[in-house]
Amino acid sequence: MVLDINNVSKKYNKEKFGLSNYSLSISNGILGLLGPNGAGKSTLMKIIATISQPSSGTLTLDGQDIVKNPNYIRKVLGYLPQDFGVYPNLNAYEFLEYIAAMKGVGGANLRQRIDMLLEGVNLTEAAKLPIGTYSGGMKQRIGIAQALLNEPKVLIFDEPTVGLDPEERVRFRNLVSELAENCIIILSSHIVSDIETIADEVAIMKSGELITKGTQPEVIQTVAGKVFETVIGGNEVSEFKTRHLVVNSIRQKDKTRLRYISNNPTEGSTPCNASLEDAYLFLTKSNAS
């Protein structure tokens, strides 16, 4: 499957753009979406999920216009929004049956599929309890299960690892990697390491625009040779930050170890291997974009 986004803009008012002339082509695999708050990630995902319409531009899935015919993608869509909720009076089983009805799936195997998904998200024991009694992590797992109910071909995960502990995050990444063999997966996260470990391609957004898109090595290349480490006195940090883009700082007694990006490193700085996080911060925080 190929999802083509062509010159899509979302205008909220005369001056405010959620997205501006955004173009992207996504095929099977994992696209990691990175960007600060307000970059337009959720807007883009809502448009792909057909719950928001672009002000201009086109979106096609395998050549079918999904703005004009949203049901084409809805049949194969799995969507895990950032701040979704649940019906508190339903139990997990009833809730998943309800979501299955929404997605237009059923048949003799539905019960078995729900059972297996509940087992997979480890909610079998809690399946008969009202979801209103669940913890945040349990609700997040129900969210993951619902996204997989309909054998999705396009999966949109908006901040999916919120509420999951470190071990669950690893399992979630494994799950997404397995799904990516036959699916388009768009994964948005503030946590660069979530994207770093699994994304085939990365798209970095800022102020509604696509700054860059490419494989991880291609994106990291934008800061190659510009990342350094140095140790300075604690009282010099503020002044240092005005001259360089500091991406990390570690306090060590009266000294501070800084990792920074610069074209003009200070004397005594040590060059470092650039990471995706360096590239992300460089592209979104500096004027490089």
Question: Is residue 16 within the footprint of other proteins (CB under 8 A)?
Answer: no
**Cβ nearer to other proteins, comparing 128 with 241:** 128
Question: Is residue 198 within the footprint of other proteins (CB under 8 A)?
Answer: no
User: Which DSSP state fits 265?
Assistant: P
**Cβ nearer to other proteins, comparing 7 with 174:** 174
Question: Is residue 126 within the footprint of other proteins (CB under 8 A)?
Answer: yes
**Cβ nearer to other proteins, comparing 64 with 248:** 64
- Of 208, 206, 207, residue with least CA distance to 279: 206
**Beta 255-261 vs 227-233: how paired, if at all?**
antiparallel
- Which residues make Cβ contacts (< 8 Å) with residue 153, sequence separation at least 6? 1, 76, 77, 182, 183, 184
Q: Determine contact, residues 18/12, Cβ cutoff 8 Å.
A: yes
Strand partners, 201: 31, 215
In whole angstroms, give the CA distance from residue 150 to residue 136.
24
Question: Is residue 228 within the footprint of other proteins (CB under 8 A)?
Answer: no
Contact flags string 78-97 toward other proteins, x per CB under 8 A: -x-x-xxxxxxxx---x--x
**Cβ nearer to other proteins, comparing 178 with 236:** 178
Token pair of 70, please? 């949203």
In whole angstroms, give the CA distance from residue 111 to residue 144.
17
Question: Is residue 51 within the footprint of other proteins (CB under 8 A)?
Answer: yes
The binding site for other proteins (CB under 8 A) comprises: 46, 49-53, 70-71, 74-75, 77, 79, 81, 83-90, 94, 97-110, 112-113, 116-117, 119-122, 125-126, 129, 132-135, 138, 141, 144, 146, 148-151, 164-165, 167-168, 171-172, 174-175, 178-179
